[in-house]
Each structure stands twice: as C-alpha cells, then as structure tokens.
Amino acid sequence: MDATGAAAPEIDFDTDPGRYRHWRLDVDGPVATLTLDVGEDGGLHPGYVLKLNSYDLGVDIELHDAVQRLRFEHPEVRAVVLTSGKDGVFCAGANIKMLAGASHPHKVNFCKFTNETRNAIEDASANSGQVYLCAVNGTASGGGYEIALATEHIVLVDDGNSAVSLPEVPLLGVLPGTGGLTRLVDKRRVRRDHADFVCTVAEGVRGDRAVAWGLVDELAPRTRLAEVTRARAAELAERSDRPTPATGVALTPLRCVARADGLDYPHVTVDFDRRTRVAAFTIRGPAGEQPADLDAVHAAGASWWPLAVCRELDDVILRLRFNELELGTWVFRTRGDPAAVTALDGFLEEHAKDWLVREVTLYWKRTLNRLDVTARSLFALVEPGSCFAGTLFELVLAADRSFMLDGGFEDDPTPPATVQLTAMNLGPLPGCNGLARLESRFLDRPEEFAAAAERVGVPLEAGDADRLGLVTFVYDDIDWPDETRLALEERASLSPDALSGMEASLRFAGPETRETKIFGRLSAWQNWVFQRPNAAGEDGALRRFGTGTRAQFDPRRV
C-alpha cells in the first residue's frame, strides 16, 4: 500500500547495467567510475519528479547492483569513483515528494536498504581491496552527502558555491536517514559541536571550512577536479590486493518464479501462509558433485552453490521486506546432506585468500546481516533431513528462537536431525556487532563458547545441541507439532511494533559499532520520527516542503 491506501506494484531488485536509468558504470583498467545522472521521469512510482539528482528506491537498486557487479565481475578494479553527471549538483538526496507520499513501512525500508548499500560500499573498501572515493562536483545535500560519506576519500569542488549539508532536521523535521549522523562523528570524527551546526543549518558548509572540520578531505577547483580525482584513485588502487589480471564472474539473472502463495528459486523456496502470517523458507543444500578446485569454482561462477544460494536468499529477503509486509514470521528449514555443506565450508576456509572465495564469504556476511536487521520474527526448525551445518547453521544462530526434533518422526526412516559447527561459525561471518553469532550467543561466557567450539566438525543430535546451548527448545515427535504450532500462533498474536523494537534490541548484544548504531537508530528514532505530526502530519515538514508555507511544529518535547 502507498500513503493513499492504493496497492503498490511488486518491487523487483534484479537488474543489470543494460537496464540502468540513473547510473553509468565505466571501467578503465584498475579504476571504475559510477556516474549518477538521474532520469527525472524515471521514478519507481508515479507522483514525483527526480529533480537535481534526487533519488528513490529505484536509483538505489541500481547502485546496489553496480556495487555487487564491481566486486564479482571486475576483479581488476581496485578503486571506484562516485561522481555526478549533472553540472553544479552532485545529489540532492532522497526525493522529498517521494518520501511525503510513501507509506510509513516503505520509508523505513527505503532507509534501511540505502544504508545497507552504503555499508556494502564501505565493506568493499575495507575488505575487498576495492576502495571508493567521491568527486563531489556540486552541492551534495542530505542523502547526497551521505553517499559521499560512505566512501573513503571525498574531493569537493572549490567553486565558492558547492556545499555539503545534512538539512533534514531544519527542512524536513526528520533525521538524516542513511546513517549521516553516525558516519559524521564515528567515521569522520567530526567534532560534536561542528556536527551540531552542520545538521541544523540548511545551506551546509563549503570550501576551507568543510576541509578544516573534516567534512571532506580536500578541495579542487572545477578545472582540476577530474585530474585530482584520477590521481587519488591511482594512489588508492596502488594499495589494493585485487588480482591483475583476472577474469570476473558474471552475475547472471536470477531465476525466480512468483506464485500467489510463494516464490520458487533453484535453491530456495518460500511458501506464504497468509492466514497465520508466516513465510516458510526451505533452503536446499548442495546437490551432486561440486567443483573440486579453484579453476573449477571460477568456471562455475554464479552457479557455484555458495554464491547461487546466497544471491537467492538475499533477493528473497528484499522482496519480502517490501512486498509482503504482513508475513511477520519467517520460518527457516533446510533440506540436504550436512556433509556436503561442511565440505564446501572447508573449501571456503582453505581458499580464503582467493579473491572470488573472499567475495562469496563477504556476500554471505552481508546477507546474514541483512537478515539480522529485518523487522521480522525469525524461527528455525531443525528436523530430520535438515542440513543446518556451518554457514547454514548461521540461520539457527540468527533466529530469535530455534526448535530441534529429538529423534525422528514415527514411520519415517530418515535419520535423526543433526546440527554441525564449522570454522565458518567462529569468525568469518560476523554480525553487525563485529562478533561471530556464536560469540554473541555466549557473550561473556567464554567457557560455553569454548565448549561449543571444541565440537567443530562433529554432527550433534538434539540432546548434545541442547546441552551446548545451540538451540532453544528440543521436542520429541509427539510434542513437536503442537509446540511449534503454538509458538507460531503466539507470535502472530503479538504487536508487530513491539516485536520489531524488541527483536532489534535483543539481536545485537555486546559492543556497539557504526552498523548497530545506524540500524538501532533506524529501528527506534527514525521509525518514530517518521510517524510524528511534526514530520508526516498535514502541517508537517515533509508535507509542507516546497509549498512556500512553513511547517507547524508542536513545541512539546517527548
């Protein structure tokens, strides 16, 4: 539904450079350039014009796709330049007409997705040897400046007019929605008093002051902006460990069949039960002979099981977030041979330094983190025939509750279910808090973590998994149907708002990071602010923006 109550069209996240309407991707040896040149009439939904390089979800879907393709299809690229294709304007940020007309869930999910895309840019810079820098060739406002903040080096054109700004508070009555507050002080270490000024003055900061305060890294006159940017990109590329030469892996179109009651991919099936408001995931493990060496893995490309299933899971999460708002509980099952999963985990560990293996592991990390910050209840059911081992066991660790059958079902010859830890559960797939999910589970209980870690590689039946604290509940086949049914019915009876807040609060124990701060504020403060009359009411700032009439604010602090 949109803000008027009309049914919104299904949102598809699968695209490619041949279909981009808003970005241009150019690759020149070790340096790629992503140019933002938004088509004004190319909005995802009708009712707004994308003026001044402002963006909506469709613009960010393309950016997300480009970041992914650069990582997998262009291993030779070591530095990426973000810039604008419009004279005098870099990016005006999120389109205000779009925000004013969007439903509340769309606004929040839009902010969440744009943050995840910025996080992917930062992850590429930090872990993939593909460092991003930004040539701000005009004014960068709000989300436009937040695109720049996601990069590692910002060059601002010094023309006496171009500025960087975060004007959401004074102009819109909301917060910078793509992590601007956190990146300003936690990443760029901008002084709090300076940040306070930046976030409350609509016109922003330009020139020498922007450099002195750490808002940008350097200035360049318009005549030398391209030259300075090329020089910085070359410097950053020199530090990279990306392979040259190397052949990339094409991210072929996903194969998804949409049904009225579900989605079918080659490795992932999701069945919708709208009566109980449950989305039931079934993830199929590796089948058949798998590539045995790196050459074969590179040749298999996007069809290699760890990459293929990760792409499908990532796509499902995004589709359900935006298109299936009432399916509030996601239940995860797996089917397959646990030994096949652990063998592939061993391959990932053995060849961790290979650029493609590294990218696949990082992709799993990002996808699992996307699951963690999704406002849905997560349950895992471990039954005979499951393959919750290693990387797939992360789904059990990510679940708000997990249930494991003790033994088998009557008249079913399938061997009892097991779970199995691998080295992938001990660090390569950290959550948003920087800890392995197994560490988060046993926070400040090192003896329990060590006891579980000692059983790496050992298939564990229900009793052992329960004693080690790896699952929440264990039931026999008599109690299993009723206990799991009651758990799902109880969850569906609770307030979705309270559940979203509770889950977001409980999932990230331990240290605070930029990522947990950003998503915590989205789940709480931005979620709340977006619904307040001062922002979203008829006299609120989002509604009044651009009308020539000032917003009417209720002065009472809450």
Summarize pLDDT for 9-31 with one digit per residue, the tens.
Answer: 799 999 999 999 999 999 999 99
Question: pLDDT at residue 510 above 60?
Answer: yes
Model confidence at 302, pLDDT cuts 50, 70, 90, reads very high
pLDDT at 315: 98
DSSP track, 194-254 = HHHHHTT-TT-EEHHHHHHTTSSSEEE-GGGHHHHHHHHHHHHHHT----SS------PPP
Residue 373 CA to residue 420 CA, distance in Å, equals: 25
Query: Mapped to the 3 state alphabet, what secondary structure does 95-122 carry?
Result: CHHHHHHCCHHHHHHHHHHHHHHHHHHH
**Ramachandran area for residue 427 (φ above 0: left; ψ -120 to 50: alpha; else beta):** left
Return the H-helix or E-strand segment holding 370: helix 355-372
Tens-digit pLDDT profile for residues 452-508: 999 999 999 999 999 999 999 999 999 999 999 999 999 999 999 999 999 999 998
Cβ atoms 96, 147 nearer than 8 A: no
What is d(CA 377, CA 329) in angstroms, rounded to the nearest whole number? 5
H or E element at residue 140: strand 138-141
CB 135 within 8 A of CB 147: no
CA atoms of 55 and 44, how far apart (whole Å): 10
pLDDT tens figures, 194-251:
999 999 999 999 999 999 999 999 999 999 999 999 999 999 999 999 998 889 999 9
- What's the pLDDT score for residue 527? 84
pLDDT greater than 60 at residue 535: yes
Q: In what order do the strands lie in the sheet with 31-36?
A: 23-28, 31-36, 79-84, 131-136, 153-157, 218-220
- State the amino acid at position 349 in one-letter form: E
Distance CA 178, CA 374 (A): 16
| Alpha-carbon separation of residue 181 from 142, 166, 297 (angstroms) | 11, 9, 41
How many Å from the N-terminal Cα to the C-terminal Cα in the chain?
Answer: 29
Give CA–CA dist 321/316, Å, rounded: 8
Q: Are strands 257-259 and 262-264 parallel, antiparallel or unpaired?
A: antiparallel
Which H or E run contains 153?
Answer: strand 153-157
Average pLDDT over residues 64-74: 98
Task: Flag whether pLDDT at 387 surpasses 50.
Answer: yes
The number of CA neighbours under 13 Å toward the Cβ of 279 is 26
DSSP 8-state symbol, 392: G
Q: Are 329 and 488 in contact (CB under 8 A)?
A: yes
User: What integer pLDDT is reported at residue 360 of this predicted model?
Assistant: 98
Residue 176 confidence (pLDDT) above 60: yes
Of 197, 232, 236, the residue nearest 213 (C-alpha): 197
Bridge partners, 131 (sequence order): 79
Q: Is the pLDDT score of 1 beyond 50? A: no
CATH number (3.90.480.20, 3.40.50.1000, 3.30.56.10, 3.90.226.10) of 257-502 reads 3.90.226.10
pLDDT at 189: 97
Task: Label residue 79 exposed, middle or buried (CB < 10 Å: 0-12, 13-18, 19+).
Answer: buried
Distance CA 61, CA 52 (A): 18
More confident residue, 556 or 26: 26
Q: Is the pTM of this model over 0.85?
A: yes
For residue 4, the model assigns a pLDDT of: 44
The gap from C-alpha 190 to its chain's centroid, in whole angstroms, comes to: 25
**What pLDDT, on the 0 to 100 scale, is given for residue 5?**
46
Question: pLDDT tens across 142-161, in order?
Answer: 999 999 999 999 999 999 99
How high is the pLDDT of residue 8? 63
List Cα–Cα distances, 221 to 37, 88, 133, 218, 460, in angstroms: 21, 13, 17, 10, 64
| Domain ranges, ordered by start, for the chain | 17-236, 257-502
pLDDT of 7 reads 53
pLDDT at 546: 85
- E strand or H helix at 134, and its extent? strand 131-136
Under the banding of pLDDT at 50, 70 and 90, the label for residue 35 is very high
Give the residues across from 331 on adjacent strands.
280, 379
Asked if residue 372 has pLDDT above 90, the reply is: yes
Closest CA to 544 of 60, 23, 100, 59: 100
Q: How confident is the model at residue 521 (pLDDT cuts 50, 70, 90)?
A: confident
Say if CB 98 and CB 106 are below 8 A apart: no
Q: Report how far residue 536's alpha carbon sits from residue 101's, in angstroms, rounded to the nearest whole number.
A: 10
Question: In CATH, which superfamily holds the domain spanning 17-236?
Answer: 2-enoyl-CoA Hydratase; Chain A, domain 1 (3.90.226.10)
Q: Position of tokens 């989205």?
A: 522
Taking the C-alpha atoms of residue 241 and residue 238, their distance in angstroms, rounded to an integer, is: 8
Q: Is the pLDDT of residue 531 over 50?
A: yes
The Cα–Cα gap between 465 and 447 comes to: 16
DSSP state at residue 185: I
Domains 17-236 and 257-502 share a fold: yes
pLDDT tens-digit series, residues 85-104: 998 999 999 999 999 899 99
Q: Is the dihedral of CA 72, 77, 82, 87 positive or negative?
A: negative
How far is residue 463's CA from residue 453's CA, in Å, rounded to a whole number? Answer: 17
Q: Which of 82, 121, 114, 174 is nearest to 540 (CA)?
A: 174
Question: What's the whole-number mean pLDDT along residues 317-335?
Answer: 97
- Min mean pLDDT across 86-90, 137-141, 176-180, 259-263 is at 176-180
Q: How many CB atoms lie within 10 A of CB 351?
A: 16
| pLDDT attached to residue 520 | 87
pLDDT over 60 at 84, yes or no: yes
